[in-house]
Structure 1
């Protein structure tokens, strides 16, 4: 605030105050008249010297105030100089064109480079169920960035057990490695395990399967079989939970040379497994469905018997009795090594799935393979999507 004083004719001093405008950096001058009388002629006797000093003091005060007012007003009203820079529009356009050219060149270089991005696909399958040519054909049909990681398990039961592990131990921290079925994107699931897997909610349905070529090419029976409700039962209105990739039946393989040497009649049906001369000479898969199914077929019943006591003569006790007799005939039940014993000659008869038996029989001489006359079960291996791979804990 600038303050100035001037000598008025009425012997008053006028004070000038610089007040700021609102919304501006400038100032305006406001005058305030304050009566301040300067007695230049005192009634009391005084010398000329004192009068002269008083006059000089008053004049000095007035002129100093005027100087302050002038300086303050000048500083308040003097605008700051503005600097203008002349812009050359032609040079600006040239610089813009150069920047565009550099950006285009960088983009072309980026497009020409190949980046090592991979798309991992983790798969757990039944051992021996995927020929090497399948994997090669699948990879070649996809992008080169696909990284297929395949792990194998000896039995379907092993796959299902490990698949359910995160849910059976839900209260404890489960350490599951990347090779576990629970960590897989896709896995093999036997058709006999499909209803239980759906009911336990360890797999998820296939989205929009009806519009995919593989489903359109299936027969009507397959389409009906794959539709299930949340309880795992066949339902025409249900969702599609899996995709079949191979199927087969139960077969009986036997060594013709051994049978001919012992003058034994060839194997033809399930009842031949109960022949006394074959006791300890049989190996069979370790599958309750197939073992009990063989007993039911031996008794003239169906694989799909729903009520043993009502549909089978003798009921449950008769089934258990024949099951015990079969257990005495079979040297061992082992889904992983039953064919190995057959190959080295430890047993003469092998009962198992056609997908296992037929390749081994082709490599051996004097081996016959038959489908039992009274009928056998059909099976299918399916691809299913794991629902619990997000539960994986890394060590």
Structure 2
């Protein structure tokens, strides 16, 4: 519309200027032509010569027409150019089908996001359920061998999806007997609460060899790749690797994991020694002093009794050939064993500490796990590890061989132990778990203390407690004594036969002593013949 108005205005202005001008058409005549311009008459259809007035009017009309055409042509060109420019500047609208695809893509993305959010919400709700990813772990432990806080702390560390069950038995012999029962009495009462149905149980290191040979436990798979095993000291790694005969073998498998250890110790009443002007006990040789005859109570373990004689003679607990490895041979061992039997009033692992508590004896020889809790309730008692070294004991975690049982009465345990076994072992061996041992809450020491400097508890933690006179530091002997201490390794059958002969040749002058010796003899026979 604006262009049309402009064209009309141009035409009117042009026409006005043209009509008022002094235009002479004759000036534009061709000089070589002698013919005047012609004009056709409409009336008679003849070509008439043009008069000056007619020529003037005719020229005016032609010029106006020509100007109008020119202006129209120029205007049309401008419109086309303007349209082209506008098209170049403004992008073409997308096709209808492209818009539809974009809308569908937006809908799909929105739907996918909603689905992801819903899946994530469902997964969080599933995780919050009490039965989701519930992993069982059942343990049977020796009563008093682990701090009461351990189960609670382990549950917290594993979240509420852990189904943790604990059971405690009073003695190591009870645990061993319960492990053997399903294999010796197939028709016995076997159920989910049975010891053999547990994922992991306590076993004394002295029972480890027999448990392996009787196949009532199984090796700990992939133990070598676990951090807890890599961080154990060299002595532990050697001691725990056994072959199928239960013997220590560098090519054998890992059958157990330690969580507590200690030594054999000698406790004596300082008041009695001071009253009779007796020097304090420092080593095994003091047990042979005449003034202590009938004043000693001792555990009835043959390895500990004969081992004390061997240490007194400068030999090892693990001597396998008495004639070749001991000065004086078997005869010298026999003589010293007879002398020790006359010194000891009671060989009894169950009642020796009771006799010590009531004053029937002045000296008690036993395991630190038994002795320390009792003497801490007494006054004027000293506890020492002999200077020449002593035997070491250890409480171990082992896996019952429940997969050997053809029964469906013990639940999923027949399919293999819990996957949380390694987490439990590693938890027990963490540095933080050593605190109850260092403070004396639980007798013994953490396995890490075997090859490290003993940690002494701050005085604030022990303030108000009676101080025990002992050479133990946080349950660990001094380094120079610990170097001479030994684990009790498995002995060959011929050495056990020598032990039996030594016991049989002790003079049996009193009926009470006779019963004690018979009990020791029965223990030896048990080690050789039990479950065979």
TM-score w.r.t. the length of structure 1 is 0.65
Structure number having the greater strand percentage: 1
Q: Where does 1:1-20 land on structure 2 (aligned, <5 Å)?
A: none
Which has the higher Rg, Structure 1 or Structure 2?
Answer: 2
Q: Cα deviations across residues 356-387 of structure 1 (Å, max 9, x unaligned)?
A: 32343334321111111222112222111111
Aligned partner of 1:279 in structure 2 is 293
Aligned partner of 1:156 in structure 2 is 172
1:254 and 2:260 are equivalent in the alignment: no
The 1:304–1:167 alpha-carbon spacing in structure 2 relative to 1, beyond 3 Å, is same
Q: CA RMSD, aligned part only? A: 3.1
SS of the equivalent of 2:264 reads: strand
Contact 2:130 2:160 in 1 (8 A): no
Contact 1:248 1:355 in 2 (8 A): yes
Q: Cα deviations across residues 198-236 of structure 1 (Å, max 9, x unaligned)?
A: 222111111111222211211222222222222222222
Q: Distance in 1 between matches of 2:168 and 2:346?
A: 24
Aligned partner of 1:114 in structure 2 is 129
Aligned partner of 2:258 in structure 1 is 244
Aligned partner of 2:102 in structure 1 is none
Q: Distance in 2 between matches of 1:142 and 1:373?
A: 44
1:227 and 2:241 are equivalent in the alignment: yes
Number of corresponding residues: 294
SS of the equivalent of 2:364 reads: strand
Contact 1:259 1:266 in 2 (8 A): yes
Q: Distance in 2 between matches of 1:307 and 1:110?
A: 67
Contact 2:130 2:161 in 1 (8 A): no
Aligned partner of 1:201 in structure 2 is 215
Q: Distance in 1 between matches of 2:268 and 2:124?
A: 67
The 1:151–1:394 alpha-carbon spacing in structure 2 relative to 1, beyond 3 Å, is same
Give the Å deviation of 1:331.
3.2
SS of the equivalent of 1:164 reads: helix
Q: Where does 1:333-372 land on structure 2 (aligned, <5 Å)?
A: 333-372=347-386
The 1:135–1:356 alpha-carbon spacing in structure 2 relative to 1, beyond 3 Å, is farther
Structure number having the greater helix percentage: 2
**Higher mean displacement: 137-146 or 252-261:** 137-146
Q: Distance in 2 between matches of 1:112 and 1:146?
A: 13
Contact 1:285 1:351 in 2 (8 A): yes
Aligned partner of 2:390 in structure 1 is 376
Contact 1:174 1:393 in 2 (8 A): no
Q: Where does 1:121-200 land on structure 2 (aligned, <5 Å)?
A: 121-169=137-185, 173-176=187-190, 180-200=194-214
Q: Distance in 2 between matches of 1:120 and 1:108?
A: 22
Give the Å deviation of 1:314.
5.0
- Unaligned 5+ segments in structure 2 are 1-110, 411-532
Give the Å deviation of 1:111.
3.5
SS of the equivalent of 1:250 reads: strand
Give the Å deviation of 1:139.
2.4
Q: Distance in 1 between matches of 2:360 and 2:153?
A: 38
TM-score w.r.t. the length of structure 2 is 0.49
